[in-house]
């Protein structure tokens, strides 16, 4: 079956049973209920949000050029009592064929979870930006997922094909192959068909991507997408940086706010069976839930409805297969990290010796950031070499204690000394960067991931810091992550300041 946008045109939409029951209970005390309370329940259900905004804007457009961009405004225009009385007749998702197919039902719940997460992030960061119309950005975040939801509801064959191709190629290639166009382009056309007003369409368009509201929305959508399978995706840092710039606050605060919003989004809608992004916060070892099978016939199986009473808390992760007892991954201690930063700051008067300053730096990296093997290498008096001077976690038998390289060379570490810069070697860049490391150093480092950063005193190089989480058997699971990399670079910057104040650093 070929894709046709007409199949997704406006028409009656089901809502989740949870939404229907909650709104029905509200109807019993409609004289005492506020528009905000009702709006909160509708906003948790993308189908209810889309259909309410469609119905009210279709009616308004026939009378005037006014537009309704928020659920709360739509309720006031509709009348709360009239809406609560009418919603009793809305179809329930769990009572239609899509709700009886476990595959479809699970897909819809997963997308709903992602929409809820993006909406929480968008509204909160809009409020923090002093946006008095924060709900407009919240609604835009929810409606971003309308095409995906409508595909699963109205054209499940295409939805399944798109899901399968996305595992094998980029999203853009998969969308072109199945839908004939990018979903970003189809989204705006589809929502316009559903009478979604221009202001919301403008928020979802890439035309004005540099505007603060669009930056907040785009970053929130990225966070919801990339945290779906864990919080270690390097792309999350791009969203954090964008929010940090818009909100004019440090990245640590942004990350803390994002994590808190993820937890709130999870708690507010625990009636969904799909696990929320907050589930992956602790990153407990264990296998990911299995991907749905690629058997297209599954879509036609009218299986028993998945119980909505099963919450994420009732679905513990299966433990990983236990092999030989692994080494315990060192856990970061933020208090120690902050103490190290302050300790360096308070001794920029030259009162610390090189040994004392190095001890503070190494403790911040090891205990503060949970890094295991650490090297502080410094330029030798001859000005030709950089050699290990202080180490932590490098045993006498570890060849890494002989870490050394020449300045002016073409290998990775030598090139890094051209300016103050950091590198996180990981699977994403290993193919490019690993061949740039001298074979002698490759043998010392092992094949695990690592952080490294060159240190400068103004325009003069001082040395370099190397750190990893160990490469012996069992330690390869103690991976590195974007947030620790950010903290690593911050501490290295502070370390460079501290070392530059030592009267005789070498």
pLDDT in tens, 406-423: 998 889 999 999 999 999
DSSP label of 378:
E
For residue 490, pLDDT beyond 70: yes
pLDDT of res. 46 = 97
Q: Are 90 and 249 in contact (CB under 8 A)?
A: no
The long-range contacts involving 455-462, CB below 8 angstroms and separated by at least 24 positions, are 455/420, 455/492, 455/495, 455/496, 455/499, 456/419, 456/420, 456/496, 457/496, 457/499, 457/500, 457/505, 458/500, 461/379, 461/407, 461/417, 462/378, 462/379, 462/496, 462/499, 462/500, 462/505
Give me the pLDDT at residue 496, please.
93
Which of these, 307, 306, 360, lies nearest to 337 by C-alpha position? 360
The structural architecture, per CATH, of the domain 5-277+305-314 is: Orthogonal Bundle (1.10)
Cα(21)–Cα(330) distance, rounded to whole angstroms? Answer: 47
pLDDT higher for 447 or 490?
Answer: 490
Domain ranges of the chain: 5-277+305-314, 334-500
Q: Is the pLDDT of residue 492 over 80?
A: yes
Confidence bin at 282 (pLDDT 50/70/90): low
Number of H helices, E strands in the chain: 22, 6
Give residue 340's pLDDT. 92
The model's pTM is: 0.60
pLDDT band at 2 (very low <50, low <70, confident <90, very high): low
Q: Is the pLDDT of residue 278 over 60?
A: yes
Is the per-residue pLDDT at 298 higher than 50?
no
Give the three-class secondary structure for 293: coil
Tell me the pLDDT of the chain averaged across its residues. Answer: 85
pLDDT band at 198 (very low <50, low <70, confident <90, very high): very high
| CATH level 3 topology of 334-500 | Beta-Lactamase (3.30.450)
Instruction: Give the relative orientation of helices 102-128 and 212-226 as an angle to the nearest 10 degrees.
Output: 140
CA angle 173, 433, 464 (to 5 degrees): 135
Closest CA to 379 of 341, 352, 408, 359: 408
pLDDT, tens digit (0-9, with 9 covering 90-100), for 378-399: 998 888 999 999 998 888 778 8
CA triplet 134, 138, 144: central angle to 5 degrees?
A: 145
Residue 101 burial class via C-beta count within 10 angstroms: exposed 0-12, middle 13-18, buried 19 and up: buried
386 DSSP β-pair partners: 379, 405
pLDDT per residue as tens digits for the range 451-487: 999 999 988 999 999 999 886 544 445 788 888 898 9
Confirm if 49 and 11 have CB atoms less than 8 A apart.
no
Run of H or E including 422: strand 422-425
In the three-class reduction of DSSP (H, G, I as helix; E, B as strand; rest coil), residue 11 is classed as: coil
User: What is the residue whose two structure tokens read 């043998």?
Assistant: 443
Mean pLDDT across 52-64: 86
Tokens 């992956």 belong to residue: 280
Q: Quote the percentage of the chain above a pLDDT of 70.
A: 88
CA distances from 399 to 51, 373, 403, 444 (A): 65, 12, 8, 6
Is the pLDDT confidence value at 211 over 50? yes
Q: How far apart are CA 47 and CA 91, in angstroms?
A: 11
What DSSP state is assigned to residue 234? Answer: T
- What pLDDT was estimated at residue 292? 56
Average pLDDT, integer, range 122-142: 95
Please state, as a whole number, how many other Cβ atoms lie within 10 Å of the Cβ of residue 355: 10
Distance from first CA to last CA of the chain, Å, rounded?
A: 72
Residue 245, token pair as written in the block: 């710039």
- pLDDT digits over 102-115, tens only? 999 999 999 999 99
Residue with tokens 């998945």: 306
The larger pLDDT score, comparing residue 501 to residue 295, is at 501
385 closest CA partner among 441, 314, 446: 441
Structure tokens, 40: 């909160």
Which 3 state secondary structure label does DSSP give 320?
Answer: coil
Cβ neighbours, 10 Å, residue 204: 21
Q: What is the pLDDT of residue 36?
A: 92
Beta carbons within 10 angstroms of residue 353's beta carbon = 13
Residue 31 — pLDDT band, cuts 50, 70, 90?
confident
64 pLDDT higher than 80: no
Give CA torsion, residues 29, 30, 32, 35, to 10 deg: 140
pLDDT at 287: 53
Task: Encode 470-501 in three state secondary structure.
Answer: CCCCCCCCCCCCHHHHHHHHHHHHHHHHHHHC
Range 242-267 average pLDDT: 92
CA 389 to chain centre: 38
Radius of gyration of the chain (CA): 27
CA dihedral 466, 467, 470, 475 (to 10 degrees): -140
Q: What pLDDT shows up at residue 305?
A: 33
Q: Which of 260-269, 294-303, 311-320 has the lowest mean pLDDT?
A: 311-320
Position 334 scores a pLDDT of 85
Res. 244 pLDDT band, cuts 50 70 90? very high
**359 pLDDT more than 70:** yes
Cα–Cα distance measured from residue 338 to residue 335, given in angstroms and rounded to the nearest whole number: 5
């Amino acid at each position: 079956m070929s894709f046709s946008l007409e199949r997704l045109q406006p028409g009656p939409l089901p809502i989740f049973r949870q939404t229907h029951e909650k709104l029905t209970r509200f109807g019993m005390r409609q004289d005492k209920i506020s528009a905000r309370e009702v709006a909160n329940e509708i906003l948790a259900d993308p189908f209810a949000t889309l259909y309410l905004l469609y119905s009210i804007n279709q009616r308004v457009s026939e009378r005037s050029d006014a537009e309704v961009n928020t659920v709360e405004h739509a309720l006031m225009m509709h009348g709360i009592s009239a809406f609560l009385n009418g919603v009793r007749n809305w179809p329930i998702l769990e009572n239609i064929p899509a709700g009886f197919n476990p595959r479809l039902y699970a897909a819809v719940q997963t997308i709903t979870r992602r929409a809820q997460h993006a909406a929480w992030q968008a509204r909160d960061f809009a409020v923090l930006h002093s946006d008095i119309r924060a709900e407009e950005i919240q609604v835009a975040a929810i409606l971003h997922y309308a095409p995906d939801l409508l595909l699963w509801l109205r054209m499940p064959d295409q939805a399944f094909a798109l899901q399968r191709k996305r595992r094998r190629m980029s999203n853009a290639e998969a969308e072109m192959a199945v839908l004939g166009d990018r979903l970003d382009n189809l989204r705006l056309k589809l929502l316009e068909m559903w009478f979604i007003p221009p202001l919301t369409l403008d928020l979802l368009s890439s035309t004005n991507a540099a505007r603060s509201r669009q930056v907040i929305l785009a970053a929130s959508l990225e966070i919801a997408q990339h945290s779906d399978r864990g919080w270690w995706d390097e792309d999350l840092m791009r969203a954090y940086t964008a929010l940090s710039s818009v909100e004019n606050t440090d990245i640590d605060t942004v990350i803390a706010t994002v994590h808190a919003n993820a937890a709130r989004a999870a708690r507010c809608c625990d009636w969904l069976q799909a696990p929320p992004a907050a589930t992956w916060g602790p990153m407990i070892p264990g296998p990911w839930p299995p991907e749905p099978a690629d058997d297209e016939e599954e879509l036609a199986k009218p299986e028993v409805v998945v119980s909505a009473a099963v919450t994420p808390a009732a679905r513990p992760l299966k433990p990983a297969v236990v092999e030989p007892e692994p080494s315990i991954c060192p856990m970061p201690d933020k208090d120690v990290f902050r103490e190290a930063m302050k300790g360096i700051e308070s001794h920029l008067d030259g009162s610390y010796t090189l040994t004392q300053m190095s001890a503070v730096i190494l403790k911040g990296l090891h205990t503060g950031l949970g890094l295991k093997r650490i090297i502080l290498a410094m330029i030798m008096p001859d000005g030709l070499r950089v050699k290990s001077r202080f180490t932590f976690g490098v045993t006498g038998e570890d060849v890494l204690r002989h870490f050394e390289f020449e300045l002016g060379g073409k290998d990775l570490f030598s090139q890094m000394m051209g300016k103050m810069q950091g590198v996180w070697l990981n699977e994403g860049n290993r193919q490019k960067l690993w061949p740039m490391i001298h074979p002698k150093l490759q043998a010392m480092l092992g094949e695990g991931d690592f952080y490294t950063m060159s240190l400068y005193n103004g325009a003069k190089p001082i040395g370099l810091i190397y750190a990893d989480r160990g490469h012996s058997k069992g330690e390869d699971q103690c991976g590195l992550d974007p947030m620790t990399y950010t903290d690593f670079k911050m501490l290295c910057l502070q370390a460079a300041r501290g070392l530059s104040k030592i009267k005789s650093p070498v």
